[in-house]
Structure 1
Amino acid sequence: MRLVHERDGASATLADDVEIAEGFVQTSKGLMFRSSIPGDYALVFEFEPPSGISAKLPFAGDDAVARRFIHMLFVRMPLDVLWLQGETVVHVKTLRPWVGVGMADADRIIELPEGAAEDVEVGDRVVLER
């Protein structure tokens, strides 16, 4: 898999080593407790539309876009974090180890090594090529 940043007809690879966080444990753990990650690495969190009882709540939408929160507790390195709606970037933030926090309405979050997303801006596209 490959993660590609697109803007104004130009494209650049953000990561060639892409991991999808699957299941409760991996989604909850993220990059906690790791001492480093490769420079071409990305961890992608993909969220599904609400189902079951949570889908019946009055504020639940029919898509997967919701307020998504990231914390850096037990994360030992700074990260660039992208919040996306579909393939469109809606928020970009570099988070500091141990104390960083960020949130935005998104259906996908991507964690990258610090500096990997320095050219990514709100409104750009980030495409996961499977």
Structure 2
Amino acid sequence: MKPSRRLSVDVRVVHERGGESVLASDVDVADSVLSRARGLMFRRSIPHGYALVFEFGGRKRRGVHMVFVPFAIDVLWLVDEEVQRVETLAAWTGLASAEADRLIELPAGRADGVRVGDRVRVEP
């Protein structure tokens, strides 16, 4: 299975709303079918400033499940960098979906303050 691709040290996830705040500075991209399917499964935890970014070729309904993920996460569904949905998913049992061309998974609590309609970007 191809692991998710680690982006350079200078890549970060930035939330824009009345200013900017960095949600993550340790960013991986799930850019293969297998790395997208695996997501965060089988990991014991993720660091506070970490994000797993899922890039897709277009807008479509995208689901996230928490099977084999033993910790809660925040998920952002984006279309053209605009937040469509924000959800905290419970360990093991969380499940949600929304329209998106990009998904971002963060440690639970990192997306506090992010609202539908805000802009979130991945930047070098």
Q: Do Structure 1 and Structure 2 share a fold, with TM-score over 0.5?
A: yes
RMSD: 0.6
More strand by share: 2
After the TM superposition, which residues 1-130 of structure 1 pair with which residues of structure 2 at under 5 Å, given as runs? 1-8=11-18, 10-48=19-57, 64-130=58-124
Matches of 2:89 and 2:113, distance apart in 1: 16
Aligned with 1:27: secondary structure? helix
Q: TM-score, normalised by structure 2?
A: 0.90
Offset at 1:24? 1.3
> Runs of 4 or more off by more than 4 Å in structure 1?
none
Aligned with 1:107: secondary structure? strand
Q: Specify every segment of 5 or more residues in structure 2 that has no aligned partner in the other structure, as ranges.
A: 1-10
Matches of 2:79 and 2:102, distance apart in 1: 6
Q: TM-score, normalised by structure 1?
A: 0.86
Matches of 1:100 and 1:11, distance apart in 2: 29
2:41 maps to a residue whose letter is M
1:111 maps to a residue whose letter is E
Matches of 1:67 and 1:23, distance apart in 2: 18
Q: Specify every segment of 5 or more residues in structure 1 that has no aligned partner in the other structure, as ranges.
A: 49-63
1:120 maps to a residue whose letter is V
Kindly tell me the number of residue pairs found equivalent between the two proteins: 114
Report percent identity of matched pairs: 53
